[in-house]
Amino acid sequence: MKNLFLGYWHLLFSGCVGLLFAACTHYDVETADTPANRGGFERHFGFVPDASVTKVYYYADELGIDASYQLSFKCSRETIKRIIEKLSLESVPPERADSLLDPRDDLPWWNPDSIDNRELWLKEEENAYYWQLWYSDRDQMAFYLEYSV
């Protein structure tokens, strides 16, 4: 009977762990433009990135009670305007970023200075959820951070 109980317990535990990993968002942190990374773009911005959106990198941290997502991609100002409209983001001074959560900057495509000297748009549900988007016409690179607290 004890072996039967242990067998059921092992099966139940293995199934729960499997479901946990199956429920996590898929992405490739080291390779741009994979279907999973472009799918992350679509999930967060509500539209499929067209061929002009390139170098799409994606990262998701969904463990624990708070989640965070980071994207980096190259796009036109028109795409940025579309994202701003879809997410209802508002322009804020870049120094406002100093009071926000620091993005993870150890990713191969997001360095500590990646968001320096870029326009910043923000939306927040105070003490609950945040959306941040940085962009520069200079290199047409966008950096996006979304997180809950």
What whole-number distance in Å separates Cα of residue 71 and Cα of residue 142? 8
Which residues pair with residue 125 across a beta bridge?
129
Predicted confidence (pLDDT) per residue in 22-72, tens digit: 345 778 999 999 999 999 999 999 999 999 999 999 999 998 888 999 999
Q: Is 137 left (phi over 0), alpha (psi -120 to 50) or beta?
A: alpha
Other beta carbons within 10 Å of 75 = 21
Per-residue pLDDT, 3: 56
What whole-number distance in Å separates Cα of residue 72 and Cα of residue 99? 21
Is residue 12 predicted with pLDDT exceeding 90? no
Predicted confidence (pLDDT) per residue in 121-138, tens digit: 999 998 899 999 999 999
Predicted confidence (pLDDT) per residue in 101-114, tens digit: 788 889 999 998 99
Q: What global pTM score does this model have?
A: 0.81
